[in-house]
Amino acid sequence: MARLLLERGFAVRALCRPGSAIRELDVEKVTGDLRDPDSLKRAAQGCTRVFHIAADYRLWSKNPQDLYDSNVEGTRHLLAAAKDAERIVYTSTVGCIAMPHGDESTPISIEDMTGHYKRSKWLAEQAALKAARAGMPVVIVNPTAPIGDHDTKPTPTGKIIVDFVAGRLPAFVDTGLNLVDARDVALGHILAADKGRAGERYILGCENLTLEQILNRLSPMAHRPAPSVKLPYAVAYAAGVVTTAWANLTGKYPVAPMEGVKMSRKKMFVSHAKAARELGYNPAPVDAALQRAVTWFKSNGYC
């Protein structure tokens, strides 16, 4: 997002937590935190456009309240801080869309949300919709599973690529994701700011692929054979129970977080037709993004 905005001539201000490393970008840095309303006021002051992309994106946390403090309360704080902006784009998640084969109009409730991350993002999306109904110029985007370079943590999606390249995926489960190039997601944010209707949601995705198909595409890029063993859901569930219980004792992120295992029961297949129709969103095939991800993870010592 920052790179695209700079390329288009915008002056960019970035909200950074203490110790954040912002490299290669000519941006104004404001130190703060989503849980600190005063820092958000300083960050948003004078900004004509606000892109709220930050979130606590984890499928396991020793203290789940952390996710609600950042994702829900942080969104409310930022919306209040950005009340004078001409346009606000809130980054939700495809997890707030009904699965499988849902779209922006398919009814869904918090009871349909699996785990604390999805519940926190659903509540945050409701706060954004409420602000839009009150007259704020808020547009919501729902990215699917972005992939590409600079996935520093990595995200749960990026971790699939890291684990495969490192040889830590001897089998796969029968699940599916909608993959999209992270650069296309960023461009979708700008299109939403330019053309999106306040109070509307727009899915930013690209290709619906099973996990088996994703690994087969990664195979020649990683020079590693794709696994041929399909893991029964019951085995994956048992692994989730054991590794999550161990994580709760040790504080170390689980190999198979229970929330991720439960989410894998549904293929997260969606359509970005609304964004294409209303925003002119036109994502490229994901193969180039997969290759960039593999190259970046290898060159940065992840695998």
Whether residue 236 has pLDDT greater than 90: no
CA-closest candidate to residue 279, choices 182, 142, 153: 142
Quote the DSSP letter at residue 197: P
Residue 202 makes CB contacts below 8 A (sequence gap 6+) with: 104, 139, 140, 141, 142, 188, 192, 196, 272, 274, 275, 278, 279, 281
Predicted structure pTM score: 0.92
| pLDDT tens digits, 176-201 | 999 999 999 999 999 999 999 999 99
- As separate numbers, helices (DSSP H) first and strands (DSSP E) second, the chain gives 12, 11
Q: How far is Cα 105 from Cα 266, in angstroms, rounded to an integer? A: 19
User: Of all residues in the chain, what percent carry a pLDDT higher than 70?
Assistant: 100
Which pair of structure tokens corresponds to residue 199?
């109070």
pLDDT at 83 (0 to 100):
94
Structural domains of the chain sorted by starting position, each given as residue range(s) with its CATH number in brackets: 2-299 (3.40.50.720)
